[in-house]
Amino acid sequence: MGMRAVIFVIIGLMLGGCMEETLAPTSQAGWTARDKQLMSNLPYAQAAIPEQFKRHIVSYDRKEAPGTIVIDSDNKFLYYVLPNNKAIRYGIAVGEEAQAWSGIAKVGRMEEWPAWVPTAGEQARLGPLPAFVTGGPHNPLGARGLYMYSGGKDTLYRIHGTNQPEYIGQAISSGCIRMTNEDVIDLYNRVKVGTIVVVLAPHNKTEPFAPHVASAPEAETSY
């Protein structure tokens, strides 16, 4: 392919908004001493994440302000909006459709290596489960938890890590958003309490702000 053809291909990709760049693996510079200790001895196998669900910087044409989190459950992506029409796109696992929630919320609480108390519904669907699971890489909530609040009330909807990275890109959870532990640490270090979270309504991208609840996660520690 001649140089002129290469230039035309590059221009075409740029105009189409298709230029993507896979980010380098998360630097441990933002990890705590506990992160380094726990992530060095994982009790689960590291999964081969499909290319489209690895972390990328992408073009972003929606109108949310930089610093906003946008969740596209249909396509299994979470976006952290950057300046200049860019966003960091993370692959996620989402809730089964019957467990879905959508609307606008804020990050009301943030935790590192949160504990997990399975709900009665989770015990019935997935059990028997322990009554309480301490925080750590063995815990289904993973390395970080971002707790969503709306109107000053807990939505019971969370963004958190996982000990099952092989499910990234699938609809498998009990209503919450799962990320790899590496990605959720990266996101956690970028946000703060009060960060806006926009959860797009399923199958309806033309009215993303219309609240929709098929079935809200049933308790604080749903995953």
Phi and psi of 16, rounded to 5°? -80, 0
CA 170, CA 126: separation in Å to the nearest integer? 17
**Residue 196, beta-bridge partner list:** 106
Q: Which domains does the chain have, with CATH numbers?
A: 22-213 (2.40.440.10)
SS3 208: coil
177 vs 26, which has greater pLDDT?
A: 177
Catalytic residue, from 138, 160, 203, 212: name it. Answer: 160
* 160 is an active site residue: yes
Per-residue pLDDT at 96: 74
Q: What is the pTM of this model?
A: 0.82
Half-sphere exposure of 174 toward its Cβ, with a 13 Å CA cutoff?
A: 21
User: 128: Cβ–Cβ under 8 A, 6 or more apart, which residues?
Assistant: none
Q: For residue 122, how far is the Cα from the chain centroid?
A: 21
pLDDT tens by residue, 113-172: 999 888 777 778 777 888 898 999 999 999 999 999 999 999 888 999 999 999 999 998
Buried b (16+ CB within 10 A) or exposed e, 160-170: bbbbbbeebbb
* Count of helices and strands (H, E) across the chain: 4, 13
Q: Using the predicted structure, report yes or no on whether residue 19 has a pLDDT greater than 70.
A: no
Per-residue pLDDT at 46: 87
Confidence of residue 209 (pLDDT cuts 50, 70, 90): very low
How many residues are given for the chain?
Answer: 223
* 18 is an active site residue: no
198 vs 201, which has greater pLDDT?
A: 198
DSSP 99: G
C-alpha angle 112-115-117 in degrees, rounded to nearest 5: 150
Token readout for 143 is 């390395």
8 Å CB contact between 74 and 200: yes
Q: How far apart are the first and last CA of the chain?
A: 50
Mean pLDDT of 169-177: 84
CA 218, CA 57: separation in Å to the nearest integer? 34
Mean pLDDT of 169-185: 90
CA 106, CA 146: separation in Å to the nearest integer? 9
